[in-house]
Amino acid sequence: MQTAISTAPASTATTGESRPRPGYGGPAHHGTTRVLVVEDERLTALDLATRVKRMGYTVIDRIAETAAEAVSLTRETRPDVVLMDVRLKGEGDGIEAARTIERLPSAPGLVYVTAYSNADTVAQLRATACVGWCVKPVDTGKLETLLSRAVRHRGTAFTNLERRIAGLAVAGLSVQQIALATDLGKDEVLNLLPNLLRHLRAQLGDRDTQG
């Protein structure tokens, strides 16, 4: 079940102007960037939403509590960044949801929040197109850094699957052969190719500006 949250600024003066706490970016800096919170613990979700608002981001007014809701709300609301908990209610988890979300045509940036930092969990997080993760209890400074990074690098991070497809393509395999090698359908491979090209252009562009 999705949780509705208030869309009002986290701190509002009598004039109606939003006043973020000192140290936060503020609405003028991030206001057009929309963040979807995926978290099954209501109090934690509201706390994260409040912190993100105080940084000046716009928080989507519904919170996903399951993997299925995370995917459906991402498709429906098209956020710029998804703040994703790993353990969720119901079937699936945040990592599985992320694997679906990162294949969407205009995939959002992805930041995880998790209570688990063991080697197996970290390996699974790294295999998705995330910019990083915060271990609970969440440090506000690190969260703000990761959100900013997610906005800058939105849609430019390669997943392990995309790296594998790119390697197979460079090796000269056909789309049909790539589909067989990756256990994907031919249409799924074709749908991933635009993402691969977009990511490659973005990374080459970054190198040009750095060079």
The percentage of residues in the chain with a pLDDT greater than 70, rounded to a whole number, is 74
Q: Is CATH 3.40.50.2300 the right assignment for the domain spanning 3-152? A: yes
Alpha helices by DSSP H, listed for the chain, are 27-30, 42-54, 67-77, 94-101, 119-126, 140-152, 160-170, 175-182, 186-210
Task: Tell me the pLDDT tens digit for each residue of 138-155.
Answer: 999 999 999 998 888 775
Crossing angle of the two packed helices 175-182 and 186-210, in degrees rounded to 10: 100
**Cα distance between residue 211 and residue 206, in whole Å:** 9
Answer whether 0.95 is exceeded by the pTM: no
**Cα distance between residue 112 and residue 133, in whole Å:** 4
**Does 10 score more than 80 pLDDT?**
no
Task: Tell me the pLDDT tens digit for each residue of 36-73.
Answer: 999 999 999 999 999 999 999 999 999 999 999 999 99
The residues spanned by each domain of the chain are 3-152, 160-210
| Structure tokens belonging to residue 47 | 């706390």
pLDDT of residue 103: 79
Give the position of tokens 């399951």.
66
Task: Tell me the pLDDT tens digit for each residue of 82-97.
Answer: 999 999 999 999 999 9
User: Which helix (DSSP H) or strand (DSSP E) does residue 34 occupy?
Assistant: strand 34-38
Q: What are the DSSP calls for 55-84, one per residue?
A: TTPEEPSEEB-BHHHHHHHHHHH--SEEEE
Instruction: Give me the CATH code for the 160-210 domain, please.
Output: 1.10.10
**Secondary structure (3-state) at 112:** strand
- Res. 160 pLDDT band, cuts 50 70 90: low
